[in-house]
Amino acid sequence: MASEVQKRTFGSAATHIQRNPAYSELNSDDVSYFKSILGDNGVVQDEDRIAVANVDWMGKYRGASQLLLLPKNTTEVSKILSYCNTRRLAVVPQGGNTGLVGGSVPVYDEVIVSLAGMDKIISFDNVNGILTSEAGCVLENLSTFVENEGFIMPLDLGAKGSCQIGGNISTNAGGLRFIRYGSLHGNVLGLEVVLADGTILDMLTTLRKDNTGYDLKHLFIGSEGSLGVVTKISVLTPAKLPATNVAFLSCNDYTSCQKLLLAARRNLGEILSAFEFMDHHCIDLAMRHLEGVQNPLPASQYKFYVLIETTGSDESYDKTKLEAFLLRSMEDGLVSDGVIAQDISQASNFWRIREGISEASVKVGAVYKYDLSIPVEKLYDIVEEMRCRLGDNAEVLGYGHLGDGNLHLNILSSKYDDSTLAQIEPFVYEWTSSQRGSISAEHGLGLMKAEKIHYSKSPEAVQLMASIKKLLDPNSILNPYKVLPQSVL
């Protein structure tokens, strides 16, 4: 079943992956052992519950696991992995299962280890804004918690209501605050990780600075659960600033969007907190499929739309600054039309459009999603080239985090089919590679792109990654078939 579904979606690549016969198959002794350490409640064999954990939220990737484990603490995770390593049982660590590349569901019969039961906040230092929690905490819950203390999480993304912080870190999630607060490599202070053999690696410092030896935690940020299972985290949370303003603007061409970005960096400077861009196909889609959402600029049809957010400490000053910026940008001809949200509900509406594009996309039928880093000046070229290639066969959407050079390319079609896929791939990867771009800016490689890593990484780098994988997980039990090509392992 697994390979059939993968074939449907991802064509020839996924069908080449065979179940690795080195892995053992689960037996009743294994289940008894897991019950002995986790209790009956921690060992799920119920078909319906397992079915949910076997498939990703888009319904694209479906595994055939027969066992879902729910550890309650690090020691239990350690015992699970130690046992699986000895028994050569393959394991998929699972957070909120909100990923887009098939990284968090089994491919075959891997044991699913869910972190959902480890959702406690351990401590919060409200002088320095340092949060320590278990890995299974849902991002939105952490957000609410730290906001009540006067701080914010350094990351925010559309999936916040389901995604877990451990998964965010394991996939190096980017999201909407990246332009202001940067990468998790800069914001994560410490991790506790359980290695494949059950070793608990305590790197759970809460210090902002620590140059004692190699900073190992970075190996686990973005390695998609293939080097270890993140069990606890500490993260730096910036102070919450009281004044947020959101503007929704339109531009007539892509060059104006770029110039507007540069102008925003210069003139909004320290208060700029988001610069999101969408082409008009995205707006049309959002208006068709998102309930209760209004077009903030309904008067005319524009080619491009930009959402700018500022966050600062002075409401009226920041707003005046944003208004002045908007006025000047209109005078300079960069912006055709624009509006600043007058209240929270209007601001939410603006954000709902941007954040809802992904949700709206999946309502059409089939959606081929690509997440690319491309130098900003070339970023929209691939969207136009793709439109030419596909003609009437598909609708091509371009949107994303322009301030980070991150394009989300969504290709909508009535159904998945191999001929459409063949027009998209490998072209999209080859094109991105030719620009020295990244074929995965923030989504990761997962199952979808494990075999495509060479488009963005040198052979020497991939070889070293494989060596590190073998060092940390010699039996390759952690999240198999993902991240790295099978040929190098």
Using CB under 8 A as the binding rule, the residues of this chain from 229 to 248 that contact its own copies are: 239, 241
**Per CB under 8 A, does 133 bind its own copies?**
no
The span from the CA of 416 to the CA of 432, in Å, is 23
Q: Which SS3 state, helix, strand or coil, does residue 104 take? A: coil
The span from the CA of 132 to the CA of 121, in Å, is 6
Amino acid symbol at 110: E
Q: Which CB atom, from 20 or from 183, has the smaller least distance to its own copies?
A: 183
Query: Scanning residues 103 to 132, which ones bind its own copies (CB under 8 A)?
Result: 125, 127-129
Closest CA to 456 of 480, 435, 479: 435
Q: Which CB atom, from 416 or from 427, has the smaller least distance to its own copies?
A: 427
Strand order across the 68-69 sheet = 43-44, 68-69, 111-114, 91-94
The span from the CA of 158 to the CA of 146, in Å, is 18
Among 212, 300, 345, 487, binds its own copies (CB under 8 A): 212
Q: Which two tokens stand for residue 256?
A: 């104006």
Choices 77-85, 140-148, 343-351, 462-470 (CB under 8 A): range interacting with its own copies: 462-470
Among 4, 25, 147, 210, binds its own copies (CB under 8 A): 210
State the minimum distance, in angstroms, from the CB of residue 61 to its own copies: 18
Q: Which CB atom, from 117 or from 198, has the smaller least distance to its own copies?
A: 198
Closest CA to 442 of 405, 412, 410: 405
Q: Which CB atom, from 311 or from 410, has the smaller least distance to its own copies?
A: 311
Choices 27-35, 111-119, 175-183, 295-303 (CB under 8 A): range interacting with its own copies: 175-183
State the minimum distance, in angstroms, from the CB of residue 254 to its own copies: 13
**Per CB under 8 A, does 222 bind its own copies?**
yes
State the minimum distance, in angstroms, from the CB of residue 396 to its own copies: 21
State the minimum distance, in angstroms, from the CB of residue 341 to its own copies: 20
Among 168, 223, 475, 479, binds its own copies (CB under 8 A): 223
- Binding map of its own copies across residues 250-289, x = CB under 8 A, - = no contact: --------x--xx--xxxxxxx------------------
Q: Which SS3 state, helix, strand or coil, does residue 438 take? A: strand
289: burial class by Cβ within 10 Å (0-12, 13-18, 19+)? middle
Q: Which CB atom, from 68 or from 407, has the smaller least distance to its own copies?
A: 407
Choices 79-87, 108-116, 248-256, 314-322 (CB under 8 A): range interacting with its own copies: 314-322
Choices 83-91, 112-120, 182-190, 290-298 (CB under 8 A): range interacting with its own copies: 182-190
* Site size with its own copies, rule: CB under 8 A: 90
State the minimum distance, in angstroms, from the CB of residue 425 to its own copies: 15
In 280-343, which ranges are continuous DSSP H helix?
280-289, 315-331
Choices 38-46, 70-78, 352-360, 454-462 (CB under 8 A): range interacting with its own copies: 454-462
Largest CA distance in the chain: 74
| Cα dihedral across residues 258, 262, 267, 273: positive or negative | positive
Among 465, 476, 480, 481, binds its own copies (CB under 8 A): 465
H/E run at residue 130: strand 130-134
**Per CB under 8 A, does 489 bind its own copies?**
no
The span from the CA of 464 to the CA of 407, in Å, is 28
State the minimum distance, in angstroms, from the CB of residue 479 to its own copies: 13
Cα 57 to the chain's mean position, in Å? 13
Among 45, 86, 313, 342, binds its own copies (CB under 8 A): 313
Q: Which two tokens stand for residue 364?
A: 């059409």
Q: Which CB atom, from 62 or from 469, has the smaller least distance to its own copies?
A: 469
**Per CB under 8 A, does 39 bind its own copies?**
no
State the minimum distance, in angstroms, from the CB of residue 185 to its own copies: 5
| Residue 122: CA count within 13 A, CB half-sphere | 19
**Per CB under 8 A, does 311 bind its own copies?**
yes
Query: Scanning residues 53 to 82, which ones bind its own copies (CB under 8 A)?
Result: none
State the minimum distance, in angstroms, from the CB of residue 184 to its own copies: 9
Q: Which two tokens stand for residue 338?
A: 């624009």
**Per CB under 8 A, does 209 bind its own copies?**
yes
**Per CB under 8 A, does 201 bind its own copies?**
yes
| Residue 199: CA count within 13 A, CB half-sphere | 10
The span from the CA of 461 to the CA of 457, in Å, is 6
The span from the CA of 210 to the CA of 189, in Å, is 9
State the minimum distance, in angstroms, from the CB of residue 471 to its own copies: 6
| Cα dihedral across residues 37, 39, 40, 42: positive or negative | negative
State the minimum distance, in angstroms, from the CB of residue 410 to its own copies: 17
Q: How far is CA 244 from CA 89, 272, 312, 320, 321, in A?
A: 49, 10, 7, 12, 12
According to DSSP, the residues that pair with 413 across neighbouring strands are: 366
Among 21, 391, 460, 487, binds its own copies (CB under 8 A): 460
Query: Scanning residues 374 to 433, which ones bind its own copies (CB under 8 A)?
Result: 375-377, 401, 404-406
Q: Which two tokens stand for residue 85?
A: 């390593």
Q: Which residue shows structure tokens 């001929």?
A: 419
Closest CA to 5 of 102, 143, 120: 102
**Per CB under 8 A, does 171 bind its own copies?**
yes
Q: Which residue shows structure tokens 């988001």?
A: 274
